[in-house]
Each structure stands twice: as C-alpha cells, then as structure tokens.
Amino acid sequence: MAKIIKINNLSVRYFGSSNLVLRNVSLEIEEGEFVLLVGRTGSGKSTLLNVINGVIPNIVSASVRGSISVADRDPRKTPVHEMATIVGTVYQVPESQIFSLIVDDDVAFGLENRAMDPNEIRRRVVESLGLVNLVHKMRHPTFLLSGGEKQRLVIAGVLAVRPRILILDEPTSMLDSMGAESIFGLVKKLNDEGLTIIMSEHRVERVIGMVDRVIGLKDGTIYVDDEPHRAVAKELPKLGIEEPQVTTLYRMINKNAEYYPISVDEFMELGVANRIDVIDKVDDGVGEDAILVSNVHFTYPGGVQEVLKGVNLAIRDGEVVSVIGPNGSGKSTLMYLLAGIYKPSSGSIKILGYDSTRLVGKERTGLIGYVFQDPDQMLLSSTVKGELEFTLRLSGIHGRVAEERVKRISGYLGINDLLGQSPHKLSVGQRRLVSVASVLVAEPRILILDEPTRGLDNETSTSLMDLLLTIKKERGITLIMVTHNMRQVGEYSDRVFVMYDGNVVFSGTPEIVFEESHRHPEWGVSPPQVFEVTRRINKPTASIRRVRVHAA
C-alpha cells in the first residue's frame, strides 16, 4: 500500500511559547489505514492533527520544522481549503462546525464556496447524507438534531468534497453513548470503504477493536506506535490513557506478555478466566431515605409534551447512585426537579424529609447541590475565590465561617493555589474541580453530578472520581451521578437507575442492571468488559477493583 502521509522529524512550537508541543515526530501512514491517536490532554494530539490538515501554521501561527507530505503535498504550502479536499477534518464541538439552519444547506455550503456546478452539488449532498444516514432529515433544522446527528452532519459536509483522509479530533467527547456509537459505526464503515482515518479519542476500550494501529503521544513525542495488541502492552494508563479492562485483567495474570487481549472474546480464548476471583462488596452502610420521589409528573412551562411520566424512586442516605439512559429520557429534567430548579407538575419530592417545593435559597443549598455538566455554565465570577464566596453568600454564610469554608474546601480539592485566578483561564480539569468546589462549599448533604468526567482524559477523570469518593466517605454525603460512562457506573455506584421515556424503568446494583441491559438494547447501555468477563465465569462484578487473581 502507498504511504499517504509521511512525516519526518516534525517539531512544532506555538508563537509566544518557549516549549515545543511536538518534538522530532516521525511517522508514515498508509492509504486505507485506521489510526487511533491517544495521549493525555496537552500531549500534542490536536497539534499533530492540525499540522496534517495545514491549519497549523496557515491559520494557527506556529513554527513548524521538519518535513511533511500529505498525498505528495506540503500542507504548509497548500491553502487550507485545498488541503481540505484531501484531508477532511472533524472537531469536537459539532455546533461550531455547522453553518446553516437546514441540514442539506449545510452540506452544500462547502461546495457552493468552491463554485461547484449546482447539479453536481445536489448529487453530492444526497450522496454524503446517504453515507452518514441522514437523507431522511434533509430538510430538518440543524439545531434540532441530536448531538450524534449533528456530528454526522459535520462528517457529511466534510465527505462532500470526497477527501482521501478523514481526521477526527475527539469527535465524540460532546456526545452521549448512543451518539458516540453511531459515530464509531460510521467511521468504521467509511474505513472499510477505503478512507484513511486518523482519530484521537479517549474511549480507547470502545474503539481499539476496530483500528489497525495505535499511536500514543507523551509530551510531544511518540511513545507507542504499534498494532493494538502490542500497543496496549506498553501500559497505556501510565500515559494517562484508558486501556481495555481485559488488558488490565490479563496483566494481573501475566505481567510480561508482548501481546495482550483487547476484546472480551480474545480474553476468554486465552483460557485464563478460571484464575479470576471476585471479592465481595464492602457495604458502607446506608441510612434513611435521602430522596423520595413519588409519582412525579412534569411538563416544562409552555411545553405540551410530558417529560416525566410518573417517576418513583428512593435514594438512601450515603449511597452512590448512577442515573443512566439515553438522551431525552428525562435524566436531566429529573435532576433539575431534585435540585429545585423546577417544581413537579404533580407528585411529590422529599429531600431528607423536607417537601422539596418549600425549600428555597439557603435552606436548599445546605441540603442538595448540583454540579452542572459544563463548568463554564457555572463559573461566572472573576476569581475562583469569588466563585466560592458567591455560593456562600447565597447560603447565608459570612465572615470568618465563610473564610474557613473556602480554605477547607479548596484544600480538600487541591485548588488553594488557584483561588486568586480567573476560573476561565484554568485547564478543563481544574475548571471542573472549581465547579465542584463552588457547590461543595455550601456543604450540601446530597451532591448531584451531571456527567462529571465528560471531556476529561482518563487520568484526570479517575483522580476526580477518586477524590469525590473520598469526600463522600469522609463527609457521609449522598452522591447522584448522571453519566453515560459505564466503566464509571460499574466502578463507583452502589445502585443504578435506568431512565427511559420519562420513567425509571429499572433499578438495582450495577451487576443486575448490566445483566438486564442485554435484553434492552434501547437503553443504549454497553456494560464494561470486566462485567462481560466475570459474568461468563458466573462471578459477575461491574468493578475491576473487586477482581483478584490466584495462581494457576
């Protein structure tokens, strides 16, 4: 096969910075290959991708040294729109890549700009929408599409110019699990049809099975570049990257293999599953009902469609609970109601024995706190300290007590050094910590977290979750997480509630829920590998921390 990308000794430094983002990177990619690019935030993944499509240095200024050839062109010397006919690029946030209000208009946008013949444009619009399975939504408003559909539309717009390479920079980090699945399926199909794919992605376990090659970056250099089974032998978690759970399991059994399994079937074929033991779960001891929701119905003000259709649930004090289910099933709405942002249309909600509709202001913030999905939706003050003080003021806490609280919580979360800084200048992970701190400072007894680790790399999300669990243990608070990350669900929750079509349709321990999910594809739940392995040996567990290995 011909090499379509040849990079030799590439070094990149952004203007105004003294550090090299990429250092002496050399690699070649064959036409038709599917490459997974991994590395923690800041390792240089996006920089590498943006050098290949020419955005660096043509739009984003940087000094780029070394030789680069993409389909026999130097992207540095080729206009970006011309490179785009060879290399299509899809970024994280679909909304910032969609320019039109109607689906087909958006696909046509790039072609109109290239002054293509209108008949050809019409042909390509249908063709591209067909590839991403959106022809039926051709005349649909773009902003009413789901996240997954939006990202597919972006891909259609990129494919319309028929590129030979498709670059995807964390294309699913803004999507729910259903949306992410549809993107992965599509990308795989496009690769099968011959398109070269380079994708950076944090959900390694999910995608590693479909790629030809894994390239891992560490501080701007290539640390791993190998076929998947051999690549995982390099202990990706040390790079801050997720590895398949079966790889971790097999490493517990055999530390020095050159070749590790990446799928459940491969693991089972190795015939070592009988060496796995599962220890019992330690019961933290849970108390009375912290939250009691009875027959809650809800319709948004001015809306016609009922969003919650008679929800019943009870969460006990001190529990860690996950709420899962596809987008639009009512998860966020239910959390809004628990947090008192809206009142139920009918039915009742009791928070630690209090009628939720009667709780206002500081009475509420001392009982229940809500950390929103995107820290930028919460961080509105000019300093981190101001952000915490804002919450304290709303909770009626002033003076020395307030000072103490700020000190204590920031110490807890390790953000003391950031107190004087603007929250908007911090890294994604730090912003997340500040948003958690700004809620925790009111010392609520119940904490709701909406997608607490979305957009974070594996290392940051693991340390955040561990921190939350520590706080939970020490302070005895109740944690409610809305999440699509099933590894997290299995690892951290005592109980799981499945929401579907405005109702809680199932609940139980993660193991019971994962087992049941096999019969309910509509839930959009794909259980973590550790569960799939342990259920086959009749010792089902959802948490890899409970797995032990005994000698052969």
What residues numbered 498-517 form the site for another protein, per CB under 8 A? none
Residues within window 422-441 making contact with another protein, judged by CB under 8 A: 424, 438-439
Question: Rounded to the nearest whole angstrom, what is the least distance from the CB of residue 286 to another protein in the complex?
Answer: 24
Sheet holding 3-14, edge to edge: 22-30, 3-14, 62-70
CB 189 within 8 A of CB 130: no
Peptide bond into 326 cis (omega under 30): no
Q: Which is nearer to another protein, 110 or 527 (CB)?
A: 110
**Given candidates 9, 144, 425, 466, which one binds another protein under the rule CB under 8 A?**
144
> Which of 39, 147, 148, 157 touches another protein (CB under 8 A)?
157
7, 36, 55, 232: which one binds another protein (CB under 8 A): 55
**Taking CB under 8 A as the criterion, which residues in 364-423 touch another protein?**
364-365, 369-370, 372, 374, 376-381, 390-391, 394-395
Q: Identify the bridge partners of residue 225 per DSSP, sorted by sequence position.
A: 215
CA 287-290-291 angle, to 5 degrees, is 140
**For residue 493, what are its two tokens?**
């929750």
Binding another protein by CB under 8 A: which of 27, 73, 93, 266?
93
Contact between 301 and another protein by CB under 8 A: the answer reads yes
* Contact between 405 and 397 (Cβ < 8 Å): yes
- Segment interacting with another protein, rule: CB under 8 A, options 75-83, 249-257, 398-406, 475-483: 75-83
User: Can residue 298 be called a binding residue for another protein (CB under 8 A)?
Assistant: no
248 contacts: CB under 8 Å, gap ≥ 6? 237, 544
For residue 111, give both structure tokens.
């072609």
Q: Which of 17, 18, 19, 96 binds another protein (CB under 8 A)?
A: 96
Tally of CB atoms within 10 A around 478: 23
Q: Which of 130, 185, 287, 361 binds another protein (CB under 8 A)?
A: 361
Q: How far apart are CA 217 and CA 239, in angstroms?
A: 8
Binding mask 97-136 for another protein (x = CB under 8 A): xxxxxx-xx--xxxxxxxxxxx--xx--x-----------
What minimum distance in Å lies between the beta carbon of 430 and another protein? 16
Nearer to another protein, 105 or 266 (CB): 105
In the complex, the smallest distance separating the C-beta of residue 343 from another protein, rounded to whole angstroms, is 11
- How many residues sit close enough to another protein to count as binding (CB under 8 A)? 72
Which of these ranges, 214-222, 264-272, 363-371, 464-472, lies near another protein under the rule CB under 8 A? Answer: 363-371
> Which among 418, 479, 409 has a CA at the least distance from the CA of 442?
409
Least CB distance to another protein at residue 500 (A): 23
Residue 317: name the closest of 469, 476, 474, 470 by CA. Answer: 476
DSSP state of 532: H
Closer CB to another protein, 52 or 233, in the complex = 52
- Closest by alpha carbon to 245, among 492, 36, 529? 529
3-state secondary structure 147-177: HHHHHHHHHHHHHCCCCCEEEEECCCCCCCH
Beta strands in 31-176 (DSSP E): 34-38, 62-70, 87-90, 165-169
| Residue closer to another protein, measured from CB, 105 or 317 | 105
**CA neighbours closer than 13 Å in the CB half-sphere of residue 62:** 25
The span from the CA of 371 to the CA of 256, in Å, is: 42
Q: Which is nearer to another protein, 126 or 467 (CB)?
A: 126
Smallest distance, another protein to C-beta of residue 408, A: 19
To the nearest whole angstrom, how small is the minimum distance from the Cβ of residue 365 to another protein? 4
Strand runs labelled E in 353-444: 354-355, 368-371
Which C-beta is closer to another protein: that of 163 or that of 220? 163
Whichever of 113 and 346 has its CB closer to another protein, that residue is 113
Contact stretch for another protein (CB under 8 A) within 35-43, 83-91, 241-249, 475-483:
83-91
Q: Which of residues 321-350 bind another protein (CB under 8 A)?
A: 336, 339-341
Q: Quick one: the chain helix, strand, coil %, rounded to 5?
A: 40, 25, 35
Other Cβ atoms closer than 10 A to 453? 22
Q: How far is the CB of 127 from another protein (least distance, A)?
A: 14
Residues 14-53: x/- map of binding to another protein (CB under 8 A)? ---------------------------------------x
- Count of alpha carbons within 13 angstroms of residue 355, beta-carbon side: 6
